[in-house]
Each structure stands twice: as structure tokens, then as C-alpha cells.
A = this chain, B = another copy of it.
Amino acid sequence: MSDYTQFETLIPVRPDDIDMNQHVHNSRYYDYVLAARYDQMERCYGMSMKAFIERGFSWFVRSAYIEHKRPLHLDDVAVVNTCIEEIQSRGAKVWFEIHKQSDNKIAAKGWIDYSMVSVETGRPQLIPDDIVEKYSI
């Protein structure tokens, strides 16, 4: 269990997300999590991706893990929950779980380990205290 708050974002499946297997293409699950994080950064943590970039910071995916449980289909709405699992000096590990809105069953879950980098140099940066604080909810 994480010490941090879990937030939720709804992502409607688009027809262009469906692949030849008639379900949401595997790699799009990461795009759903990404969309959820961008939404939650602005709406829940009070610091949008734009605000990060204006301060010269960006997030780089160091590693990621996903388990697929059940496919999402056309007309489904993905309910994406994420929460901080761990804040490190130069990064953060984010846990996620994707449910199908219609029956609340798990579609996929996993985590993404991000490094906070300088936009200019691409190198990992110490996360400033005020940002650590914003994320410590």
C-alpha cells in the first residue's frame, strides 16, 4: 500500500486505439496512463506538465512494467487510477491500475519509474522541495 493519494481519470477508448485483435492495442495502455498523469498533474497535484517544462524540467521513463488482465474494447471507457508509490531524490515511481468502467474489472496494472530531467541537458535533477511537497499528497 502506498502512503500517497490515488487519483482517477476517465479515458474513452477511440476507434483508432483498436488493433487487428479487435481490442485496445497493447502499447496504447501506456498512452492512457500518460494521459491520466498529465490530467492529474494539473488537476490533482497543482503542477501541470507545462509548468514543469517552464521550470526547465521534464520526466523521462527509466523503466516500466505492465500486466494485462483483460482487453478493453471499442465503446469501453478506461478508468485509470494512479498514485505515487515512492518519491526518490531524482525521480518518482508511479503505480497504475486500469479498470473497465462498465463492469469495474481490471484491464491492466503496473508501474512506471520516472527520472526528473533537465529539459536542456537531459540529465537527472534533484527534485526541488516545493515539488516534493506538491507530490507528497
Interface residues of A (CB under 8 A from B): 11-12, 14-16, 18-22, 25-28, 30-31, 34-35, 38, 42, 48-50, 58, 60-68, 74-75, 110
Q: Which of B19, B58, B65 contacts A18 (CB 8 A)?
A: B19
Most buried by B among A27, A28, A31, A50: A27
Most buried by B among A48, A64, A75: A64
Question: Contact between B31 and A16 (Cβ–Cβ < 8 Å)?
Answer: yes
Q: Which of B16, B58, B65, B75 contacts A27 (CB 8 A)?
A: B16
Q: Which of B28, B35, B65, B74 contacts A15 (CB 8 A)?
A: B35
In the assembled complex, which residues on chain B have CB atoms less than 8 Å from the CB atom of A74?
Answer: 20, 38, 49-50
In the assembled complex, which residues on chain B have CB atoms less than 8 Å from the CB atom of A31?
Answer: 14-16, 27
Instruction: For A29, give the chain B residue with the smallest CB separation.
Output: B27
